[in-house]
Amino acid sequence: MKVGFIGLGIMGKPMSKNLVKAGHELVVFDFNKDAVNELVAMGAKSAESGKEVAQQCEVVITMVPNSPHVRAAVLGANGVADGAKAGSVVIDMSSIDPTESKAIGAELAKKGIDMLDAPVSGGEPKAIDGTLSVMVGGKKELFDKYYDLLMVMAGSVVYVGELGSGNVAKLANQIVVAVNIAAVSEALTFAKKAGTDPELVYQAIRGGLAGSTVMDAKAPMMLSRNFKPGFRIELHIKDLNNALNAAHAISSPVPLTGQLMEIMQGLKADGFEKEDHSSIVKYYEKIANTTVES
């Protein structure tokens, strides 16, 4: 299948590489020419704009940072909508505000262009090995048509509902992940302050009800002081901001999300926004005057 791909960042680059490896004919666009050249070296074709991508492909995937970037890539000058034919499909795999997914989809529909919102979870490691979790909103027949394409980049692809539902699911995921990391941080800090080895506490509780994928991914990073980003604090701030905006728009209280936003803003103020979100532990270490380390 000939596929357009716009956005070759931390997530988009490995995702697009997996499409090339699977034999898809890829046309790529990004402002980062080094990333574009890397894909071209693998056999992809480069384009000079989103418009040029869409002129060559019936389906265009976008993977960019946030709502304004999606709007610019799709609806802006020389964007996808300027080059796409009626019947084309945009699959936005960015994590954005679901109300914006619906608004962008409505604008595209005026030109006969369909849209799926298909945000991902799993971070860079799962983008590299092609085992992302993908949550999809839009027409069910489009989901069925492009399911196999999405599975090239994923370990699971789940249909959630109408357009915007994919991003609702992603924001729900980000709420759970943030609160879970904070709970692990709080517990390990408590263990250290109590004079008990936090590594042994982690080993003791990980097999019980407290155990989780988040705990097993993030506790070892905290204990080894490895904060190399799989998912940066600044990106989680972006997602929680979208979650707060979307929740407030429908009068759905999210008090824990609000608290985690303030914790992450504190970490940003301390200069840790480029670190992995496991750095949430540093907030607890600061207020408890200790360091979680075996």
What are the catalytic residues?
170
Angstrom distance (rounded) from CA 196 to CA 274: 30
Nearest-angstrom CA–CA distance, 217 and 132 = 15
DSSP letter string, the chain: -EEEEE--STTHHHHHHHHHHTT-EEEEE-S-HHHHHHHHHHT-EE-SSHHHHHHH-SEEEE--SSHHHHHHHHHSTT-HHHHPPTT-EEEE-S---HHHHHHHHHHHHTTT-EEEE--EESHHHHHHHT-EEEEEES-HHHHHHHHHHHHTTEEEEEEEESTTHHHHHHHHHHHHHHHHHHHHHHHHHHHHHTTS-HHHHHHHHTTSTT--HHHHHHHHHHHHT----SSBHHHHHHHHHHHHHHHHHTT---HHHHHHHHHHHHHHHTT-TTSBGGGHHHHHHHHHT-----
Q: Give the Cα separation of 14 and 223 in Å (integer).
A: 28
Determine the Cα–Cα distance for residues 67 and 101; give it in Å rounded to an integer.
Answer: 8
